[in-house]
Amino acid sequence: MITKITTKFFWTTVQKNFSFSTTKQLISLGFLLLIFACNNKPEFVLSSFKTSTGWGYVIKKNDKIIIKQSIIPVIQNIKSFESETEALKVGNLVLDKLEHKTSPTITKNNLILLSIKI
Protein backbone atom coordinates (compact mmCIF):
# COMPACT_ATOMS: atom_id res chain seq x y z
CA MET A 1 0.00 0.00 0.00
CA ILE A 2 1.39 3.33 -1.03
CA THR A 3 0.24 6.52 0.58
CA LYS A 4 1.11 9.83 -0.82
CA ILE A 5 2.35 12.12 1.88
CA THR A 6 2.77 15.74 1.08
CA THR A 7 4.69 17.75 3.55
CA LYS A 8 4.28 21.46 3.76
CA PHE A 9 7.37 23.35 4.45
CA PHE A 10 7.02 25.14 7.78
CA TRP A 11 8.89 28.32 6.79
CA THR A 12 6.57 29.02 3.83
CA THR A 13 3.56 28.95 6.13
CA VAL A 14 5.25 31.23 8.64
CA GLN A 15 6.20 33.73 5.94
CA LYS A 16 2.66 33.87 4.60
CA ASN A 17 1.20 34.41 8.04
CA PHE A 18 3.86 36.92 8.99
CA SER A 19 3.49 39.04 5.88
CA PHE A 20 -0.32 39.14 6.24
CA SER A 21 -0.02 40.02 9.92
CA THR A 22 2.59 42.71 9.26
CA THR A 23 0.50 44.30 6.51
CA LYS A 24 -2.52 44.31 8.78
CA GLN A 25 -0.51 45.94 11.56
CA LEU A 26 0.90 48.60 9.24
CA ILE A 27 -2.57 49.48 7.98
CA SER A 28 -3.82 49.76 11.58
CA LEU A 29 -0.85 51.95 12.50
CA GLY A 30 -1.50 54.15 9.46
CA PHE A 31 -5.11 54.69 10.51
CA LEU A 32 -4.05 55.58 14.04
CA LEU A 33 -1.53 58.12 12.76
CA LEU A 34 -4.15 59.61 10.44
CA ILE A 35 -6.65 59.94 13.28
CA PHE A 36 -3.99 61.52 15.52
CA ALA A 37 -2.98 63.99 12.80
CA CYS A 38 -6.60 65.03 12.22
CA ASN A 39 -7.34 65.49 15.94
CA ASN A 40 -4.09 67.28 16.72
CA LYS A 41 -5.09 70.93 16.90
CA PRO A 42 -2.25 73.39 16.66
CA GLU A 43 -1.76 75.21 19.93
CA PHE A 44 -0.84 78.82 20.51
CA VAL A 45 2.35 79.37 22.50
CA LEU A 46 3.03 82.50 24.53
CA SER A 47 6.52 83.56 25.55
CA SER A 48 8.16 86.72 26.80
CA PHE A 49 11.36 88.37 25.64
CA LYS A 50 13.64 91.10 26.95
CA THR A 51 13.87 94.35 25.00
CA SER A 52 16.38 97.17 25.43
CA THR A 53 13.84 99.17 27.47
CA GLY A 54 11.77 96.45 29.16
CA TRP A 55 9.76 93.38 28.16
CA GLY A 56 7.56 92.16 25.32
CA TYR A 57 5.67 89.02 24.33
CA VAL A 58 5.39 86.72 21.34
CA ILE A 59 2.48 84.46 20.38
CA LYS A 60 3.30 81.59 18.02
CA LYS A 61 1.21 78.97 16.28
CA ASN A 62 2.93 75.99 14.65
CA ASP A 63 6.29 77.70 15.28
CA LYS A 64 5.20 80.74 13.24
CA ILE A 65 5.05 84.14 14.90
CA ILE A 66 1.46 85.39 14.94
CA ILE A 67 1.97 88.43 17.19
CA LYS A 68 5.19 90.04 18.41
CA GLN A 69 4.51 92.93 20.76
CA SER A 70 7.56 94.80 22.02
CA ILE A 71 5.72 97.94 23.14
CA ILE A 72 2.57 98.58 25.14
CA PRO A 73 -0.32 98.86 22.68
CA VAL A 74 -2.92 101.67 22.70
CA ILE A 75 -0.83 104.29 24.50
CA GLN A 76 0.75 107.22 22.68
CA ASN A 77 4.24 106.75 24.11
CA ILE A 78 6.56 104.15 22.66
CA LYS A 79 7.24 102.20 25.84
CA SER A 80 7.91 98.53 26.60
CA PHE A 81 6.30 96.65 29.48
CA GLU A 82 8.11 97.33 32.76
CA SER A 83 8.18 93.69 33.84
CA GLU A 84 7.89 90.25 32.38
CA THR A 85 4.73 89.73 34.43
CA GLU A 86 3.04 92.71 32.80
CA ALA A 87 3.97 91.50 29.31
CA LEU A 88 2.62 88.02 30.06
CA LYS A 89 -0.63 89.41 31.53
CA VAL A 90 -1.41 91.23 28.29
CA GLY A 91 -0.11 88.29 26.25
CA ASN A 92 -2.46 85.92 28.08
CA LEU A 93 -5.42 88.21 27.38
CA VAL A 94 -4.55 88.33 23.67
CA LEU A 95 -4.00 84.57 23.67
CA ASP A 96 -7.40 84.01 25.24
CA LYS A 97 -9.03 86.19 22.58
CA LEU A 98 -7.26 84.26 19.81
CA GLU A 99 -8.33 80.91 21.22
CA HIS A 100 -11.95 82.12 21.36
CA LYS A 101 -11.63 83.40 17.78
CA THR A 102 -12.34 87.00 18.67
CA SER A 103 -10.39 90.10 17.70
CA PRO A 104 -7.11 90.23 19.66
CA THR A 105 -7.21 94.00 20.08
CA ILE A 106 -6.40 95.56 23.44
CA THR A 107 -8.09 98.66 24.83
CA LYS A 108 -6.87 101.17 27.37
CA ASN A 109 -9.52 99.80 29.74
CA ASN A 110 -7.98 96.31 29.39
CA LEU A 111 -4.60 97.72 30.44
CA ILE A 112 -6.15 99.46 33.45
CA LEU A 113 -7.99 96.28 34.53
CA LEU A 114 -4.74 94.29 34.25
CA SER A 115 -2.89 96.92 36.37
CA ILE A 116 -0.38 97.71 33.63
CA LYS A 117 1.68 100.82 34.37
CA ILE A 118 1.10 103.20 31.48
pLDDT in tens, 86-105: 999 999 999 999 999 999 99
**Checking phi first, is residue 62 left (phi over 0); if not, alpha (psi -120 to 50) or beta?**
left
Distance, in Å, from the CA atom of 60 to the CA atom of 95, rounded to the nearest integer, reads 10
pLDDT in tens, 13-51: 555 555 555 566 656 656 555 565 555 566 899 999 999
Q: Is the pTM of this model over 0.75?
A: no
Distance, in Å, from the CA atom of 95 to the CA atom of 109, rounded to the nearest integer, reads 17
Distance, in Å, from the CA atom of 89 to the CA atom of 82, rounded to the nearest integer, reads 12
Amino acid at 80: S
Q: Where are the domains of the chain?
A: 10-40, 44-113
Q: Which residue has the higher pLDDT, 71 or 3?
A: 71
